[in-house]
Amino acid sequence: MIVSKFGGTSVGTFEAMQHSASIVAENPDRKLVVISATAGTTNDLVSLENPNLDSTSREAILLEIENRHLGIINQCEDKQELEKTFRVQLSQLRNHLELPDRDKKWKDTLYAFGELMSTKIFTEVLRENGVDAEWLDARTILRTDSGFGNAIPDINATKVQAKKLISTKKRYLTQGFIGSDEFGSTTTLGRGGSDYSAALFAEATNVSILEIWTDVAGVYSTDPRIVLEAKPISEITFDEAAELSVFGGKVLHPATLKPAIRGKVKVRVASSKKPELPGTLIVHQAKDEPIVRAISLRKDQTLLTVRSLEMLHQHGFLAKLFSVLADHKISVDLVTTSEVSVSLTLDTAHKASNKVELTDDILNELREFCEVEVEKDLSLVALIGNKMDATSGISGTLFGLLENHNIRLVCHGASPNNVCFLVKEGTGEEIVQLIHKKFIG
Ligand code: ADP
Ligand code: ASP
Ligand code: MG
């Protein structure tokens, strides 16, 4: 049994859906198909959450959603039935927008419309391609906590539900990104979370292969949108791929590989437009393990620097600092320390629906025991590879290349799989191009 996930662009138009459906049809082992919302729809739904949106803009967004889906529905054989279902969903969406309480729970129910709409249509496209797949509501299987916007899955509860509701004899189509908490409220796993959902379904149903079908032919040496010469990688280790996704490689949601590792699931990333290309296999041991395999870029980083003489020969300062951040659920990515100061990076982007905000309250709490400085508009560049902590010369070459750029913070040595540093937003792309040319070609 294979779990196959298709992203937004792989189901964004009728043609894309046809490509994806023919991939599913080709192999009867592709028993559980997980798809995202049609490309652009989740962004549209996020725009609709703005309480200050005027009615003209709101209608324009709703029309965009309507046209995108009707454009696909109109090319299906059974368009009348599909259009009826879609119109019901659209009016439910309108009703939802009328509700007064726009809290995080309300937002997750709003975002879920994208996946609920796309899956209804894709079930029909699959049927027209000879695949009889049952539409499954992911919320009946994928159990999470109530951390709306960025919910944490409960894999044990999910396994129990999967055992109850998924039979290996049938084929299913379900939604990525969405789940439900113990009270039955809709939750989401954070933007780009369909990859993560698919991996959780793979773990919960004990399958051996997870396929991530996307708009590029696998994992590349860097984002091909930044470097045209980026090369597809045929094999990459779980450790490298995990770091690549955490450090901004959007091709996989950062949490995707955790369930795959736990469940001993093999992962393949490939293009739904060109399924004949080999794509990338994510493995425990790769045939070759180069020092620099890939480069990633993560934007919207915030650097928080705190200074205090209290740090000098004192214990407990770091614990105090991190406990304030932990109390406010702020997760820290990189840390460097000196005798009297600590610099931390915070990711303010990858959970668009649940941004980390350094509020005045938090800053004031920190100011009670140290000086605080906040720098925004930074990007994090990471070199991903192997044995980087034990290879001499990398930093020398790297910093030689970047002599004309102001580097704000460097982390080297904490992991064998990466070296990373912060640069000014706006220079990130150019720096990635420079490093790619030098280290990858
Ligand atoms: P999907 O909708 O299929 O989930 P995404 O847009 O989320 O697709 O992810 C695919 C995109 O990830 C690619 O189009 C590419 O621009 C971007 N990307 C960033 N880094 C990488 C990388 N190292 N390899 C491949 N793609 C990457
Ligand atoms: N549709 C969701 C998003 O755009 C989930 C995903 O595409 O993976 O974030
Ligand atoms: Mg994605």
Query: pLDDT digit string (tens) for 204-251?
Result: 999 999 999 999 999 999 999 999 999 999 999 999 999 999 999 999
Measured at the alpha carbon of residue 24, what is the angle toward residues 21 and 25, in degrees to the nearest 5?
A: 85
Tell me the range of 54-68, 297-311, 316-330, 335-349 where mean pLDDT is highest: 54-68
**Which sign, positive or negative, has the C-alpha torsion 367, 372, 374, 380?**
negative
Taking only the tens place, the pLDDT of each residue in 86-126 is 999 999 999 999 999 899 999 999 999 999 999 999 999 99
Whole-number pLDDT of residue 97: 97
Q: What spacing in Å lies between the alpha carbon of 250 and ligand 1's midpoint?
A: 5
pLDDT classification of 340: cutoffs 50, 70, 90:
confident
Determine the Cα–Cα distance for residues 233 and 220; give it in Å rounded to an integer.
5
pLDDT classification of 351: cutoffs 50, 70, 90:
very low
Whole-number pLDDT of residue 254: 92
Determine the Cα–Cα distance for residues 195 and 189; give it in Å rounded to an integer.
10
Q: What spacing in Å lies between the alpha carbon of 369 and ligand 2's midpoint?
A: 40
Q: Which tokens sit at 271?
A: 């293009």
Q: What spacing in Å lies between the alpha carbon of 44 and ligand 2's midpoint?
A: 11
pLDDT classification of 350: cutoffs 50, 70, 90:
very low
Q: How many C-beta neighbours within 10 Å does residue 378 have?
A: 22
Whole-number pLDDT of residue 352: 45
pLDDT classification of 374: cutoffs 50, 70, 90:
very high
Determine the Cα–Cα distance for residues 110 and 96; give it in Å rounded to an integer.
7
Taking only the tens place, the pLDDT of each residue in 392-435 is 888 889 989 999 998 988 988 788 999 999 999 999 999 999 99
pLDDT classification of 391: cutoffs 50, 70, 90:
confident
Whole-number pLDDT of residue 130: 98
Residue 355 scores a pLDDT above 60 = no
Q: What distance lies between CA 126 and its chain's CA centroid?
A: 26
Nearest CA to ligand 1 atom 1: 7
When pLDDT is averaged across residues 279-286 and rounded to a whole number, the result is: 95
**At 227, which amino acid appears?**
V
How much of the chain, in percent, has pLDDT values that exceed 90? 83
Atom number in ligand 1 closest to CA 219: 24
Residue 349 scores a pLDDT above 60 = no
| Residue 8 CB less than 6 A away from ligand 2 | yes
Residue 353 scores a pLDDT above 90 = no
When pLDDT is averaged across residues 194-204 and rounded to a whole number, the result is: 98
Ligand nearest to the CA of 215: 1
Atom number in ligand 2 closest to CA 193: 8
Pocket of ligand 2, candidates 36, 116, 215, 355: which has the most ligand atoms within 8 Å of its Cβ, to mutate?
36
Identify the residues whose C-beta falls under 6 Å from ligand 1.
7-10, 36, 192, 214-216, 219-220, 222-225, 244, 249-251, 294
Ligand nearest to the CA of 116: 2
Atom number in ligand 2 closest to CA 196: 8
**Bridge partners of residue 227, in order along the sequence:** none
Q: By C-alpha distance, which of 11, 232, 24, 216 is closest to 115?
A: 11
Pocket of ligand 1, candidates 246, 251, 384: which has the most ligand atoms within 8 Å of its Cβ, to mutate?
251
**With contact defined as beta carbons under 8 Å apart, do 412 and 422 qualify?**
no
Whole-number pLDDT of residue 356: 63
Determine the Cα–Cα distance for residues 435 and 441; give it in Å rounded to an integer.
9
Whole-number pLDDT of residue 392: 82
Whole-number pLDDT of residue 331: 81
Residue 436 scores a pLDDT above 70 = yes
Ligand nearest to the CA of 245: 1
Whole-number pLDDT of residue 3: 98
Name the average pLDDT for the chain: 94
Q: What are phi and psi of 307, to 5 degrees?
A: -130, 140
Residue 133 scores a pLDDT above 80 = yes
Whole-number pLDDT of residue 237: 96
Q: What spacing in Å lies between the alpha carbon of 251 and ligand 1's midpoint?
A: 3
Pocket of ligand 2, candidates 142, 175, 194: which has the most ligand atoms within 8 Å of its Cβ, to mutate?
194
Q: How many C-beta neighbours within 10 Å does residue 72 have?
A: 26
Determine the Cα–Cα distance for residues 96 and 113; give it in Å rounded to an integer.
10
Q: What spacing in Å lies between the alpha carbon of 194 and ligand 2's midpoint?
A: 6
Q: What spacing in Å lies between the alpha carbon of 253 and ligand 3's midpoint?
A: 6
Q: What are phi and psi of 365, to 5 degrees?
A: -60, -40
Q: Which whole-number Å values give the CA distances from 202 to 41, 155, 282, 432, in the listed order? A: 25, 11, 15, 34
What is the 3-class SS of the chain, one letter each residue?
CEEEEECHHHHCCHHHHHHHHHHHHHCCCEEEEEECCCCCHHHHHHHHCCCCCCHHHHHHHHHHHHHHHHHHHCCCCCHHHHHHHHHHHHHHHHHHHHCCCCCHHHHHHHHHHHHHHHHHHHHHHHHHCCCCEEEECHHHCCEECCCCCCCCECHHHHHHHHHHHCCCCCEEEEECCEEECCCCCEEECCCCCHHHHHHHHHHHCCCCEEEEEECCCCCECCCCCCCCCCCECCEEEHHHHHHHHHCCCCCCCCCCHHHHHHCCCEEEEEECCCCCCCCEEEECCCCCCCCEEEEEEEEEEEEEEEECHHHCCCCCHHHHHHHHHHHCCCCEEEEEECCCEEEEEEECCCCHHHCCCCCHHHHHHHHCCCEEEEEEEEEEEEEEECCHHHCCCHHHHHHHHCCCCCCCEEEECCCCCEEEEEEECCCHHHHHHHHHHHHCC
Q: What spacing in Å lies between the alpha carbon of 199 and ligand 2's midpoint?
A: 14
Determine the Cα–Cα distance for residues 351 and 378; give it in Å rounded to an integer.
17
Instruction: Identify the residue whose tokens are 């396929």.
Output: 211
Domains of the chain: 2-215 (3.40.1160.10), 293-439 (3.30.2130.10)
**Bridge partners of residue 306, in order along the sequence:** 342, 372
Q: What spacing in Å lies between the alpha carbon of 388 and ligand 1's midpoint?
A: 25
**With contact defined as beta carbons under 8 Å apart, do 5 and 194 qualify?**
yes
Instruction: Identify the residue whose tokens are 């000014």.
Output: 424
Taking only the tens place, the pLDDT of each residue in 265-275 is 999 999 999 99
| Residue 177 CB less than 6 A away from ligand 2 | yes
Residue 309 scores a pLDDT above 90 = no
Taking only the tens place, the pLDDT of each residue in 221-230 is 999 999 999 9
Q: How many C-beta neighbours within 10 Å does residue 49 have?
A: 14
